[in-house]
Structure 1
Amino acid sequence: MKKNQIDIVSLGCSKNLVDSELLMKQFEVNGYHCVHDSKNPQGEIAVINTCGFIESAKEESINMILEFVNRKNEGRLNKLYVMGCLSQRYQKELEKEIPEVDKFYGKFNYKQLLADLGMADIVTCSGQR
């Protein structure tokens, strides 16, 4: 587990990818190194940007969350955050079923995630959705 490294996993549509890239920039200006590689996660913090549009995307998102929950349970991850469409649509159910996740956020709540991590919202990007 690498200190000051955040693993970001972006699932689903291209809008999620753009949101994840904006979030990565925010993390980087706050002194964190970001890695966008779910195959070889090494960070102390993970953020999964989920999709909840179709059944297969929901399954992929849940499976990815559970993979990172296993990493956390094994002591290879300190904090796990989930955001995006799936967590917005099913937040209460997810909180009940997967309590190992530190916090669930909706698809537009990246500022709250930054605040919860003690980070400043520094970067202003045009074209935000």
Structure 2
Amino acid sequence: MTRAHVETIPFENVDVVLGRHRGIGLDVVGEKLITRRRGGYCYEQAGLFAAVADRLGYDVQRTVSRVQPDRGGPYPHMTLIITVENTPYLVDAEFGSGMLVPMPFENGAVVDQGGWPHRLIWEDLHELLP
């Protein structure tokens, strides 16, 4: 499901940059990304992906994050943790080219993402927070 999403819906934030963003409600996002076949940014895409996963019966947790956590500041990115058969997975289908395959949400997990290995490493969050 993640690969299909990444390969079908491109990342774009044109409406946000131009000040024409209409919100992240599922009705608005569905009309934009599905009906008009436009791309979207992380909060739009993650919201749509989460709604589909939820309707398919998966446990979905929406999380906020930073692309570069060591820089501090706000959390401008949304990721998802989706539990499948009692195993939580990190899903980030909305970041640029995106993660093609969900990652087990466990320290040290390595997953091949289209020829690029991605490793999930736990860090002490207290060191990263302002």
Q: Please, what TM-score do these two structures have when normalized by structure 1?
A: 0.30
Larger-Rg structure: 2
Q: Please, what TM-score do these two structures have when normalized by structure 2?
A: 0.29
Kindly indicate whether structure 1 or structure 2 has the higher relative contact order, using CA contacts under 8 Å at least 6 residues apart.
Answer: 1
More helix per residue: 1
